[in-house]
Amino acid sequence: MKMNILSSTAQTEIELITLALEKEGLPTKFERLGEGAWHYAYYIPKEDLVLRLPKKIAYDKEVAFDEKLFKTEYEGTKQFYSHANKVKEDICPKYFRYTVSEPLTYTIESYAGRTTPLADQTPAQAKLFGREIGSFFLGLEELEAPLPGVGYLTLNDDEKLTGFYNMNLQAMIREETEEYQQELEALLSSPYPFDKEKVAAFGRELIAQRAVESEKCIFTNQDTSPENILFTSGGIRIIDPYPILYTGTSLAANFAFNYQTLFHSLHNTRRYGKGNYQHVVPQLKANAEGFIEAYTSGSEQKQKDLTVEVFIKLVTMAHDHLDLLQRERLNEEQIIRFGTKGQIEERLRFFLNELEHYPRRMKHGIL
């Protein structure tokens, strides 16, 4: 049986796995480890390695073979693993290889271990894991970015990785800040009820305080999903990242916002439903609390900058939901990620309530 594996050949699953392992000079005995949204994973016990094969159907859509896209993703993963391990040894797989071709595309990497599900963690344990992640994100800011450019990664004409935008980071921050101001104004002009006068007063001031000149471009990770952060007995491990060249504060805020607010609010979507995040809210919030404590590390300035960025994440997510509700119809990808219009509207009202109460959360040090 070929299953749902991306390949231009008619070979079966077993044949493709065997071919990949033989190509790497590895034993062909394997165990099925599981599957994510985009890949199947197989464990090679004798070498303690994981083979991953891409799916040809993901989220009900056919995945077209795109050599540049796969090379960008896999080379980006390889370089992020190496970069991350300079901050904390073994936080990412040390071994990583890949092959990209129409007949056979795969990755091979070190096995990162078994995770402790959030549901099996106490809030105290979750907070410790959060502190470890926060320290790691702070450590990334100590390293110089190993790649040029800003933004998500792409391959240039010489097949070298760069950020998508060839521009000054401060110029990009200023451009984006204007967009965030416009998103806030759109929410204030919407028909949905919340204390708009209050949110306008402190919201405009917060966005105007966004750090610009003090920020530097670092090589960091946007993927904060508990699916790809393993909580092991030996500490956290990060796999399958979404690397980006951007400001450390923005990506730290992304983590804090996702664990404090976003993940559990998306529990009724197809994309996030299997995480059952509505049942582990104490663990998610404890993880975020530990993360913030370690990342800010007693610095009032970092706390202030993070407060602004988390507010921006909340504004943007609320605006995204407002935009979806204003569309005549949703496409399949939007439904998978955000749910029905009824669910989106309910979530928007939740976000607007969070915006309204943001000053109180700030006062108590809760982002």
What mean pLDDT do residues 105-125 have?
Answer: 97
pLDDT at 199: 96
pLDDT at 314: 98
What mean pLDDT do residues 76-82 have?
Answer: 98
54 — phi, psi (to 5°)? -75, 145
Q: Which residue ranges does the chain devote to CATH 3.90.1200?
A: 118-363
What mean pLDDT do residues 283-292 have?
Answer: 97
How far apart CA 301 and CA 211 sit, in angstroms, is: 10
How far apart CA 274 and CA 271 sit, in angstroms, is: 8
In whole angstroms, how far apart are CA 146 and each of 93, 134, 173, 217? 18, 21, 20, 10
May I ask the CATH class of domain 13-110?
Answer: alpha beta
Q: Which residue ranges does the chain devote to CATH 3.30.200.20?
A: 13-110
Q: Are 149 and 166 within 8 A, CB to CB?
A: yes
pLDDT at 68 over 80: yes
How far apart CA 87 and CA 139 sit, in angstroms, is: 6
CATH architecture of 118-363: Alpha-Beta Complex (3.90)
pLDDT at 365 over 80: no
pLDDT at 14: 94
> In the predicted model, what is the mean pLDDT of the chain?
94
